[in-house]
């Protein structure tokens, strides 16, 4: 919930927002700035056979993950045609009639964040108007994972009828991002000064959801509505593919909003709450939001990557000591995911009655 208070005559009004992870943050201006910059990291050397090359990238990732929790990656190795196909099919999906999209309404899958999330279904920060966006989520599918432990493991995703090319395009891109995410997980291990394979057992059957999001151009004031309200992500890290519309904003440690403008050929990576917990707050799970005032539609594809739900989220050894004890209780990734998913979905009410009638 968002509230605005003024502490004294000479100080500006401060807005305090309660997040879905139970934490609060404050800021004094709702307008973004470009004065602070999000780092751009060339990750070409993550594919190097030389450990020292991979460690060099890892040190850049370490600084960015600690300082701001967001960074662009370039030379990531993914063929742009996969992105283009995913965006093309995403736009066609959102053009479908509402009743067809509601066939896969997320309310049909309680406790999971898959399926269709209708326009203005949520109000994450309790602004005057609900979040101006709609989305479709898909989950990990072992049958599309080249490294799957069990190819026959069922997927929890649901799909619209008569849209086989939609599913094919989504998982075509998902598989590329999955392979990149596994490689990045090893870089994150090096960044935390633990063995490169420290997390390998945690990502054989990972949490690997992908979301396509459609934001109409917003005409209302940013003080009354947002595309997606301020939030942090749930898993270990997110890889974000955005179009050229802009609108993504990141909260700095100085509590000011920074524009995360599109960088050609790049993707954004941000730390999410599970990694924040496991690193005892050394990695920063940064608050972010989207306000699309570009005058055109905006589309983005975030890919959420985390650990096997059965694995316990233990504190990384290099992030805890007698002087810096663990701040969070141990729980499995699945327990944390379920808690957060239920909190997020409880903010949505639109579509519940419609879905029950179908």
CATH no. for residue 195? 2.60.120.330
CA distance 304 to 334: 14
Residue 65's nearest CA partner among 241, 303, 276 is 276
Angle, nearest 10°, between helix axes 164-191 and 80-94? 130
* Residue range 219-263, pLDDT digits in tens: 999 999 999 999 999 999 999 999 999 999 999 888 889 999 999
Taking the alpha carbons at both ends of the chain, their separation in whole angstroms is 32
Adjacent-strand bridge partners of 17: 2, 25
Statement: residue 279 has pLDDT above 80: yes
Q: Dihedral, CA atoms, 166, 171, 176, 177, nearest 10 degrees? A: 100
Strands 298-306 and 70-74: unpaired
Has residue 132 been placed in a domain? yes
CA distances from 123 to 20, 65, 118, 151 (A): 11, 28, 12, 38
Has residue 247 been placed in a domain? yes
DSSP H or E segment with residue 290: strand 288-290
Angle, nearest 10°, between helix axes 51-67 and 164-191? 100
Has residue 277 been placed in a domain? yes
Statement: residue 351 has pLDDT above 60: no
Least confident of 117-121, 122-126, 145-149, 275-279: 122-126
pTM of the model: 0.91
CB within 8 Å of 212: residues ≥ 6 apart = 86, 90, 93, 94, 135, 136, 170, 299, 300, 301
Per DSSP, 208 falls in state E
pLDDT at 356: 33
Number of Cα atoms under 13 Å in the Cβ half of residue 266: 19
Q: In what order do the strands lie in the sheet with 70-74?
A: 40-42, 70-74, 267-271, 237-242, 298-306, 207-215, 134-138, 115-117
Residue 357 pLDDT level (bands cut at 50, 70, 90): very low
Least confident of 35-39, 43-47, 165-169: 35-39
Has residue 211 been placed in a domain? yes
Q: In what order do the strands lie in the sheet with 248-251?
A: 228-231, 288-290, 248-251, 257-259
Has residue 13 been placed in a domain? no
Has residue 339 been placed in a domain? yes
Residue with tokens 């101006």: 132
Least confident of 16-30, 77-91, 149-163: 16-30
pLDDT at 14: 64
CA distance 112 to 91: 23
Q: Name the token pair of 228.
A: 């997606």
Has residue 236 been placed in a domain? yes
CA distance 330 to 337: 13
Strands 257-259 and 134-138: unpaired
Contact indicator for 1, 17 with CB cutoff of 8 Å: yes
Query: 232 is in which domain, residue-wise?
Result: 40-356
Statement: residue 354 has pLDDT above 60: no
Per DSSP, 68 falls in state T
Q: How many domains does the chain have?
A: 1
Alpha helices in 68-157 (DSSP H): 80-94, 98-101
Has residue 281 been placed in a domain? yes
Burial zone of 277 (CB within 10 Å; 0-12 exposed, 13-18 middle, 19+ buried): buried
């Amino acid at each position: 919930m968002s509230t605005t208070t003024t502490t004294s005559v000479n100080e500006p009004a401060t807005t305090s927002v309660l997040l879905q992870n139970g934490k609060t943050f404050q800021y004094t201006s709702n307008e973004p700035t470009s004065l602070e910059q999000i780092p751009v990291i060339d990750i070409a050397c993550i594919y190097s056979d030389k450990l020292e090359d991979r460690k060099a990238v890892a040190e850049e990732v370490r600084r960015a993950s600690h300082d701001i929790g967001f960074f662009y990656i370039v030379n990531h190795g993914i063929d742009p045609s996969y992105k283009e196909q995913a965006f093309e099919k995403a736009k066609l999906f959102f053009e479908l009639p509402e009743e067809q999209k509601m066939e896969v309404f997320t309310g049909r899958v309680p406790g999971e964040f898959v399926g269709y999330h209708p326009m203005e279904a949520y109000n994450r920060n309790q602004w005057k108007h609900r979040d101006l966006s709609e989305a479709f989520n898909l989950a990990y599918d072992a049958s599309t994972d080249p490294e799957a432990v069990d190819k026959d493991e069922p997927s929890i995703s649901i799909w619209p009828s008569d849209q086989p090319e939609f599913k094919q395009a989504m998982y075509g891109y998902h598989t590329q991002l999955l392979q990149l995410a596994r490689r990045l997980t090893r870089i994150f291990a090096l960044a935390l000064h633990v063995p490169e394979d420290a997390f390998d057992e945690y990502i054989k059957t990972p949490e690997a959801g992908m979301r396509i999001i459609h934001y109409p151009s917003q005409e209302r004031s940013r003080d009354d509505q947002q595309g997606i309200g301020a939030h942090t992500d749930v898993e270990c890290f997110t890889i974000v593919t955005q179009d050229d519309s802009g609108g993504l904003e990141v909260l700095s440690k100085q509590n000011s909003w920074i524009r995360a403008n599109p960088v050609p050929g790049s993707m954004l990576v941000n730390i999410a709450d599970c990694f924040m917990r496991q690193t005892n707050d050394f990695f920063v799970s940064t608050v972010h939001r989207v306000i699309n005032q570009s005058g055109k539609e905006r589309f983005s594809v975030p890919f959420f990557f985390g650990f096997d739900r059965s694995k316990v989220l233990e504190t990384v050894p290099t992030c805890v000591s007698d002087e810096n004890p663990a701040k969070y209780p141990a729980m499995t990734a699945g327990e944390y995911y379920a808690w957060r998913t239920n909190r997020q979905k409880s903010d949505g009410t639109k579509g519940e009655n419609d879905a029950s009638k179908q």
